[in-house]
Structure 1
Amino acid sequence: MLIRLLRAHLGPYSRPITLLVLLQLIQTIATLYLPTLNADIIDNGVIKGDTGYILATGGIMIGVSLAQVVCSVGAVYFGARTAMALGRDMRAAVFTRVQSFSTREVGQFGAPSLITRSTNDVQQVQMLVLMTFTLMVSAPIMMVGGIIMALNQDVPLSSLLVVIVPILGVIIGFTVSRMRPLFRTMQERIDTVNRVLREQISGLRVIRAFVKDHHERKRFGTANDDLTDVGLRVGRLMALMFPLVMLVVNLSSVAVMWFGAHRIDSGGMQIGALTAFLSYLMQILMSVMMATFMFMMVPRAEVCAERIEEILSTETTVVPPASPVRELSARGFLELRAAEFRYPGAEEAVLRDISFTARPGETTAIIGSTGSGKTTLINLIPRLSDVTDGSVLVDGVDVRSLDEALLARTIGLVPQKPYLFSGTVASNLRYGNPEATDEDLWAALETAQARDFVSKFAEGLDAPIAQGGTNVSGGQRQRLAIARALVRKPEVYLFDDSFSALDYATDARLRAALEQETRESTVVIVAQRVSTIRGADRIIVLDEGRVVGEGTHRELMDDNETYREIVLSQLTEEEAA
């Protein structure tokens, strides 16, 4: 999975990678050549007292060292640049795919996990690539080259490598095999910590209201301790591995000095050759240690790559049309024909056989008990989710065939939980229409009954809005969301319980202003408050995912028991008449 992910995203960077490998090759060759030059100085210069040879060879060593430094700096530069670009591309790919998800896929992964995969998981893969470019390219060259150069110095002494390298390989293999499942658990525990922390920050008022501070501290502490426990288990493996590797390295040095001294004493080897052999041994072992360090990162990066690939390979259930319709002839005629929505694997459909029409210039209201499927029904129209059977049509065209931009221009949605982005009042309103003038914004605010409180801000339209709109009240947030939809001037307005946080007087003024503003548009209102929808041209009554009534307020009061129960739970018989 890791290889496939890297192959898919490193393709555009073949030229810098080729240059990087070339620089690493030159640097490694220079590193391998220096001990041989040093041995020549000792054996042919120092021992023989040849100053000229020492200076000449020393000059070559300086030149080789300079080439090594230049290539090293260049390799690090190109490696870092490519790794950072890879991280950027992966984050962009994950973001683009998540943006295409329907509410079903977002719910499947969960927001905390999506955030972790876009940040921490991508960073782990990026770090592995960076370390691979700066260390792993040179490590195998140095190890193979070191063995060759060591054999060139003394073949009998090189037999020590036959024992040393397999021992290191066994240590590395044992450690890596234990680390991989731990790293998978670690990433899942990070997801859990993010989820708990996000819930606690978002639900801070509820926590304070119910005095659950101690409970939430305990819940976060449990998640934090679980992550710490996995981290400690990984740390113990690392703490075990490094001393073992260093023990092998130090024993190898002692063994080389011991057997090398005997080789010198017998005349089979020179002092400079022993010095060079010891340098090559250290280079071989260092390359193995670099590989060890890399192998420690690979399991975690592999797990992260699987999690990233899981997102990238998940296809959205809201599929863009192959041949999109880019123009509509009519203006906002909405129709649902036997629409059904069922979650994957669910025994029962959430919505079943939903059929009704909503016409321009009319207001269609949807009412029903909690859990009857009202919000799910509204979400089918702008394709936040797609019907699993039947169809949703705008101006006679199935919404699944409409161009995404056209659908967005045609439909203006005010969701049940209005969300405002960090920025200003103006930037949030222009989310509906980037070309809107200040006059357009004030007009929309006037209709949404939001002009009064916005004009009281010292900055006016430039007043700051915190993420989620947390620095304004619930009612103000709803009115700003309504104004945002009005700025777009769509043919179809969808209000999903968008007046629940308003007092009755504001609600009445807003509905009266909306009636004038949307008199040529199709308006669909989902509401719990009967007073909000009793004047609608058509009222759809939902119960357990089915349409159980359709008509005006008076018609439904006379012949629909479900609607009558809802109305009388809020109004007296006289008020409902």
Structure 2
Amino acid sequence: MIKVILGQVKEYKKASILTPLFAALEVLMEVLIPFITAQIIDNGIEQGNLKNIYIYGAIMLVLAGFSLLFGALAGKYAARASSGLACNLREAMYENIQTFSFSNIDKFSTAGLVTRMTTDVTNVKNAYQMSLRIAVRAPLMLICSMVMCFFINARLSIVFVIAILFLGIILFFIMTRAKRIFDVVFKKYDDLNASVQENISAIRVVKAYVREDYENKKFTGAAKRLYEMFVKAESILAFNNPVMMLTIYGCVLSLSWFGASFIVSKTMTTGELTSMFTYIMSIMMSLMMLSMVFVMLTLSVASCERIVEVLQERPDLANKEQPLMEVKNGSIEFEHVNFSYKHGSGEDTLKDINLTIHSGETIGIIGGTGCGKSSLVNLISRLYDVSDGAVKVAGKDVRDYDMEVLRNQVAVVLQKNVLFSGTILENLRWGNEKATEEECIEACKQACADEFIKQLPDGYNTYIEQGGSNVSGGQKQRLCIARALLKRPKILILDDSTSAVDTATDAKIRKAFKEQIPGTTKLIIAQRISSVEEADRIIVLEDGMVNDFDTHENLLKTNKIYREIYDAQAKGGGDFDEAV
């Protein structure tokens, strides 16, 4: 885990090396200052030697100046190294997420990924900064101060050894208990972020159903659970300071008691005892800083584990060593295809699918909710891999193609349409970044989007808000269809992507497809039979299996399910699920 995290330091190695170096020099300067103080007292003040006071005073000022300089440089490089590590971690996580297949993404919640890239990375950044500077400075200060104490008076220094052992045992107990709680805390963070994300993205539904109080209670519940876990963790960590102060006061009392007797017996000077008091404070402050580092490391270990999970996640789908780089046509074949979202567990979503679709055909797909319509088309562009069998495009297994090449030739307008912040033209060019404005307009005409775009104040330069919140559902669907058409694909898949447009506009879109892109294979998933009745053939899916595959006319005559749907919709009945 540590190796994976530190592997992202990269170009910030120099700053990571210079930080502890300057921290060590800072410690060296600080350790020498109490020793010089003792010389001022013993050889200057007590002897009334003003010259020695000036000399040792000047040396002290020089040491203090260098200490400040080295401390500032250590802080500067620590900030650079830790911020650089955080930046690299976020970039590496984001880059790896882009390679994930749908099945990889299914393992992580959106809120969980956001938490890992924000809160978790920030925890690691803070821990790394403290590790570079304080985790180097504190042990060095502790060791050097102990060495100086033994140099001054070995017998009296045993007090510090006992204090360190006592404190170490208590801190280990505290950190072990707190670590287990922090492991749970970050899962609660995910729940909190999920609640916020869901509420904001669905705020219109929340307000439409007057569910603000319910959402407030749900968020309050998530926030309270996080609060309770943090209180529990912090209650354990709260013992840190009292134990630390108990140790410090114990050392001060012991040092005062035994030191006074040593001075009386002439085995120790006043200046040496004064410097010992300074060193004890340095030792105790070092221990306090180390305890803070342990707290931060305890917090960051859980974050490191969550970050490494994302960094080490490998995409389930990968190209072959020498993939095919050309899709010759839009023919599609399913050969004894079985598919499950969790390979090796659970019932198959698709079972023994056998289909042959010719290039340029328009194919309708109809079936009840959960029958596998979206799963079927997702296999064509290899968003998932089959469990058994093979899906072929242009006579070749989709696993033989380079995934980018395949997906550039298979345009999918998903059931959940997504528009991004930016102008209409910028959104359209997701389909083809080099598309001219004229090509964008032509695609919008085919998708029946041009007519409403022209009515907007800024036309094609109209700004689309995040998620397309300032356009209607039907307008959003037509823009997404136009975006897909700009790819000039050999296969076009419409996954229930005209459900929000009226039947007249739906008919215009289908007519445009027939006239403008006759060579493109078109797969149209729909709930309305009117959307697919003019298709060359129609697939009727039931429980993940092909119930029938024929023309509209033949299905009306021979297929009971299709006939029932048709009769129900012709009479103005409910939706598909009510008809079956």
TM-score > 0.5, shorter chain as reference: yes
Tell me what 1:549 maps to.
Answer: 548
Kindly state the Cα deviation for residue 405 of structure 1 after the two structures are TM-superposed.
2.3
Q: Is the 8 A contact 2:330 2:360 kept in 1?
A: no
Asked if structure 2 preserves the Cα contact closer than 8 Å seen for 1:5 and 1:305, the reply is no
> What SS does the aligned partner of 1:528 have?
coil
8 A Cα contact 2:9 2:88, kept in partner: no
- 3-state SS of the aligned residue for 1:539? strand
Say which of 329, 341, 346 aligns to 1:343: 341
Output one character per residue of 1:121-144: Cα deviation in whole Å (capped at 9) or x when no partner. 111111100111121111111111
- SS of the equivalent of 1:324 reads coil
Query: Any idea what the Cα deviations from partners look like across 1:433-454, whole Å, max 9, x if unmatched?
Result: 1111111111111111111221
1:12, CA displacement in angstroms?
4.8
Counterpart Cα distance in 1 of 2:546 and 2:284: 75
Residue aligning to 2:27: 28
Q: Distance in 2 between matches of 1:319 and 1:134?
A: 42
User: Structure 1 runs of 4+ off > 6 angstroms?
Assistant: none
Inter-partner Cα distance in structure 2 for 1:254 and 1:525: 84
What aligned pairs does 1:391-402 form with structure 2 within 5 A after superposition? Answer: 391-402=390-401
| Secondary structure of 2:238 counterpart | helix
What secondary structure, in the 3-state scheme, does the structure 2 residue paired with 1:432 have? coil
- 1:540 paired residue number: 539
State the Cα distance separating 1:44 from its structure 2 match.
1.0
Establish whether residue 365 from structure 1 lines up as the match of residue 364 from structure 2. yes
Please say which of residues 334-343 and 295-304 is displaced more in the overlay.
Answer: 334-343
Letter in 1 for 2:201: S
Percent identity, aligned pairs only? Answer: 36
Offset of 1:103 from its aligned partner?
2.1
- 1:100 equivalent in structure 2: 99
Q: Is the 8 A contact 1:24 1:138 kept in 2?
A: yes
Secondary structure of the 2:570 match is coil
> Letter of the aligned partner of 2:210 in structure 1?
V
SS in 1 for 2:330: coil
Aligned runs of 1:181-200 on 2, under 5 Å?
181-200=180-199
Match runs of 1:135-150 below 5 Å: 135-150=134-149
CA displacement at 1:11 relative to structure 2: 5.2
> Which of 332, 335, 338 is equivalent to 1:334?
332
Aligned to 2:578: none
For 1:38 and 1:413, the matched residues in 2 are separated by 77
Give the whole-Å Cα distance in 1 for the aligned partners of 2:546 and 2:242: 71
- 2:126 alignment partner in structure 1: 127
Which residue of 2 is the match for residue 310 of structure 1?
309
CA contact (8 A) 1:189 1:223 kept: yes
Aligned to 1:77: 76
Corresponding residue for residue 455 of structure 2: 456
Q: How many residue pairs were aligned?
A: 571
Deviations 1:414-433 (A, max 9, x none): 00111111112111111111
Mapped partners of 1:396, 1:52: distance in 2: 97
The reply on whether 1:177 has 2:153 as its aligned counterpart is no
Q: What secondary structure sits across from 1:226 in the alignment?
A: helix
Aligned ranges 1:56-67 → 2 under 5 Å: 56-67=55-66
Bigger drift between 156-165 and 92-101 goes to: 92-101
Matched, 1:570 2:579: no
- Name 1:475's counterpart in structure 2: 474
* Deviating more after overlay: 99-108 vs 258-267: 99-108
* Corresponding residue number in structure 1 for 2:409: 410
Cα distance in 2 between the residues matched to 1:30 and 1:397: 72
Q: Which residue of 2 aligns with 1:223?
A: 222
CA contact (8 A) 1:373 1:544 kept: yes
1:497 aligns with 2:496: yes
What is the deviation of 1:401? 2.1
Report the CA distance between 1:456 and its aligned residue.
2.0
Q: Name the CA distance, whole Å, in 1 between partners of 2:29 and 2:247.
A: 26
Distance 2:564 2:368 in 1: 10
SS of 1:159's partner is helix
Partner of 1:377: 376
1:410, CA displacement in angstroms?
0.7
1:152 aligns with 2:151: yes
> Is the 8 Å Cα contact of residues 358 and 523 (structure 1) preserved in structure 2?
no
Cα shift readout 1:57-114 (whole Å, capped 9, x = no counterpart):
2222222222212211111111111111111111122212222222222222211111
Amino acid at match of 1:540: I
The residue identity in structure 2 corresponding to 1:352 is K
SS of structure 1 residue aligned to 2:268: coil
CA contact (8 A) 1:337 1:355 kept: yes
Q: Aligned residue for 2:505? A: 506
Assess if the C-alpha contact under 8 Å between 2:423 and 2:464 holds in 1.
yes
* Match of residue 575 from structure 2: none
Task: Give the CA deviation at 1:16.
Answer: 2.6
Deviates more, 1:25-34 or 1:494-503: 25-34
Q: Any gaps of 5 or more consecutive residues in structure 1?
A: none
| Alpha-carbon contact 1:478-1:501 (below 8 Å) kept | yes
Match in the other structure for 1:428: 427
Secondary structure of the equivalent of 2:17?
Answer: helix
Look up the match of 2:116.
117
| CA distance in 2: counterparts of 1:465 and 1:254, whole angstroms | 70
The one-letter code sitting in structure 2 at the alignment partner of 1:158 is: S
TM-score of the two chains, using structure 2 as the length reference: 0.95
Supply the RMSD in Å over aligned alpha carbons: 1.7
Q: Deviations over 1:267-310 (max 9, x none)?
A: 11111111111111111111111110011111221111111122
Which amino acid is 1:544 matched to? D
Distance, in Å, in 2 between the alignment partners of 1:357 and 1:75 is: 68
**One-letter code aligned to 2:461:** D
Letter in 2 for 1:392: V
Q: Check the 8 A contact 1:171/1:245 in 2, yes or no.
A: no
Distance 1:12 1:213 in 2: 48
Q: TM-score, length-normalised on structure 1?
A: 0.96
Give, in angstroms, the shift of residue 509 of structure 1.
1.3
CA contact (8 A) 1:426 1:461 kept: yes
What's the secondary structure of 2:489's corresponding residue? coil
Q: Is the CA contact (8 Å cut-off) linking 2:240 and 2:291 kept in structure 1?
A: no
Structure 1 residue 340: Cα displacement: 1.6
Cα distance in structure 1, aligned partners of 2:290 and 2:397: 57
Does the aligned pair in 1 maintain the 2:382–2:403 contact within 8 Å?
A: no
Q: Partners of 2:48 and 2:457 in 1: how far apart?
A: 87
Distance 2:298 2:564 in 1: 60
- Residue number in structure 1 paired with 2:247: 248
Kindly indicate whether the alpha-carbon contact (under 8 Å) linking 1:358 and 1:524 is maintained by their aligned counterparts in 2: no
Look up the SS of the partner of 1:488 in the other structure: coil
1:47 match: 46
